[in-house]
Amino acid sequence: MEAFWKYIALAVAAALMALTLRAADRSFGMAFSLAAGVLLLLLLLEPLRRAMRALLDMAGAAQIGEEHTGLLLKMLGVSFASEFAAQACRDAGENGIALRIETAAKVMLAVLAAPVLEELTRLILELTA
């Protein structure tokens, strides 16, 4: 929990620094903000690895297939990456591009979910036939 509070403090300090830099030079402030965002994201890699390991362990204990677990992890990756990219675009004042990223993420999530929905539909049809 202590690491979380350090992370939050670092994020707030970076935001204040970006705000200060943006007042002096807009493009430099945006570049700093993007770099700080990437650094903050990199700091989350180890906790994310632990969370993924726990998810995989639980899925194994529940005897959930690796294909479903892998699909879930891909969907989480698409969600996190698209959220980061969309927020970076919004920080740069590009709301239209941010919306396109969010739309692309929704399409990708639908594509990833399609095989599971097909399998579920097939199972329902078998049970009701």
pLDDT of residue 3: 86
Looking at the 3D structure of the chain, how many domains does it have?
1
pLDDT of residue 67: 80
- Say if 2 falls within a structural domain: no
- Mean pLDDT, consecutive 10-residue stretches, the chain (129 aa), reads 90 92 88 90 90 86 82 90 92 91 97 90 88
pLDDT of residue 39: 93
- Say if 13 falls within a structural domain: no
- Say if 86 falls within a structural domain: yes
pLDDT of residue 59: 84
- Say if 78 falls within a structural domain: yes
- Say if 96 falls within a structural domain: yes
- Say if 36 falls within a structural domain: no
- Say if 115 falls within a structural domain: yes
**Containing domain of residue 84, as a range?**
66-129
Rounded to an integer, what distance in angstroms lies between the CA atom of residue 93 and that of residue 9? Answer: 25
- Say if 70 falls within a structural domain: yes
